Amino acid sequence: MFGLVANLQKKVIKNAPQYLARPLMRNPANAIITEKRKECPSPVIPEIYKNGALPSFLIISSLNQQNPDFFVFPTKRVLLSLVALFGNILLASCQGPPESVTLATKLETRIAELDGEVGLYVHHLKKDHSVLINADELFPAASLIKVPILASLLNKVERGELGYQDKLIYTKDRLYPGEDLLGSFANNEKLTLKKLVFLMITTSDNTASLWCQELAGTGTTINTWLKQKGFLHTRLNSRTPGRADARDRYGWGQTTPREMAQLLIRIRNRKLVSPAADEEMARIMGRSYWDGEAISSVPPSISTMSKQGAVNASRSEVVLVHAPHGDYVFCVITKNQKDQSWKHGNEGFSLLRDISRILWEHFEPQQPYLPASGNEQFR
């Protein structure tokens, strides 16, 4: 009897590695793994067991000749526990995460909710990942057109044709109807070109912007500069000879989501006007009074460059986010919106906030951000 047990023990030691390496589906009782995956490796046998040594808890305690598998590991409960453990580890390592909804699908789904037309351009500069939805279609630029006005103006400063600290004299005949800050200035009050630029970009002052457009050489000069820089669709229409039809259709200016985003990318890369001028533009565009839409969905600790635009049937925003895991830029523009209200919950305004939130959550999943409760009272 002792000889038989000894022989069986030798057989156990000899065959242990190959039994551990067998597929777990060989016995229907082993229901731990229900599917074999080609990409899953076979169980790995530790080196200490390949020389014939077995751990002390795998000691033969009985013999069941009715079950040909049982004689290998008589302590079957222990074996099954090990198999369950190894099997679960293998499944955990081989089972990939569930397929996530793509960024494009999320954006398309949200855009479809707006009663109107939408153009979107998204580009992550580090990952070189883009999403384009009507990105090359023409849209009303509204106040986004102030970005090329700024660039063309600083181009003249760079060339010495204007001085950034030059004193200008404001007269009431320049007033553009609306709630402009510059309109509150006294007649013949002086201000620098730098302050005028601040008013145009930071507060989106229309009176200041039309004055900057004039100082930059009028819309004709700005359009020529845009063409030279390779922007084939972005154009000023207002107060620009030969652009009356385009003005009737698109308003002050026209652009595409891609081109407006590319303007910010070139500023960021110091490739639009000059390194010094682009750096100044980046600083100016990092200070926006109108931070209630896309910017509000980005943590306040994150720096951005942005410009906002809005007319009755169109809402727009272009933003470059200096995110922890890489800069990304996006431009959203709507047109033919049914909702032409000016309340915070306007469909276009809500779209800008939601697009920005979706992008932040996608590109920075480890840094979730939710605006503080009650923030609406400050918007």
**Domain range for 83:** 2-94
Is residue 21 pLDDT above 80, yes or no? Answer: no
- Asked if 274 and 174 sit in the same domain, the reply is yes
- Asked if 110 and 20 sit in the same domain, the reply is no
The reported pLDDT for the residue numbered 376 is: 81
- Segment 203-228, tens digit of pLDDT: 999 999 999 999 999 999 999 999 99
- Segment 66-81, tens digit of pLDDT: 544 444 444 555 555 5
- CA 101 – CA 122 distance, rounded (Å): 17
The reported pLDDT for the residue numbered 93 is: 46
- Asked if 13 and 90 sit in the same domain, the reply is yes
Is residue 329 pLDDT above 70, yes or no? Answer: yes
Phi and psi, residue 308, nearest 5°: -115, 155
- Asked if 250 and 341 sit in the same domain, the reply is yes
The confidence band for 22, taking pLDDT boundaries of 50, 70 and 90, is: very low
The number of folded domains in the chain is 2
Domain-terminating residue out of 62, 94, 126: 94
| Nearest Cα to Cα of residue 23 among 7, 34, 10, 9 | 34
Looking at per-residue pLDDT, the higher value among 49 and 170 belongs to: 170
The confidence band for 248, taking pLDDT boundaries of 50, 70 and 90, is: very high
Task: Mean pLDDT check: name the lowest of 174-188, 203-217, 240-254.
Answer: 174-188
The reported pLDDT for the residue numbered 65 is: 47
- Asked if 221 and 259 sit in the same domain, the reply is yes
| Nearest Cα to Cα of residue 239 among 223, 222, 217, 219 | 219
- Asked if 68 and 214 sit in the same domain, the reply is no
- Asked if 110 and 87 sit in the same domain, the reply is no
- Asked if 70 and 132 sit in the same domain, the reply is no
The confidence band for 20, taking pLDDT boundaries of 50, 70 and 90, is: very low
Positive or negative CA dihedral for 193, 196, 202, 204? negative
Q: What is the largest CA-CA distance in the chain?
A: 118
- Asked if 118 and 88 sit in the same domain, the reply is no
- Asked if 49 and 157 sit in the same domain, the reply is no
Instruction: Give the CATH number, domain containing residue 287.
Output: 3.40.710.10
Domain-terminating residue out of 60, 94, 128: 94
Is residue 2 pLDDT above 70, yes or no? Answer: no
The reported pLDDT for the residue numbered 51 is: 52
- Burial tier of 39 (Cβ tally within 10 Å: 0-12, 13-18, 19+): exposed
Domain-terminating residue out of 77, 94, 111: 94
Percent of the chain exceeding pLDDT 90 equals 70
| Arithmetic mean of pLDDT, 101-116 | 96
- Asked if 25 and 152 sit in the same domain, the reply is no
- Segment 270-297, tens digit of pLDDT: 999 999 999 999 999 999 999 999 999 9
- Asked if 87 and 172 sit in the same domain, the reply is no
Task: Mean pLDDT check: name the lowest of 48-57, 108-117, 170-179.
Answer: 48-57
The reported pLDDT for the residue numbered 338 is: 98
Is residue 44 pLDDT above 60, yes or no? Answer: no
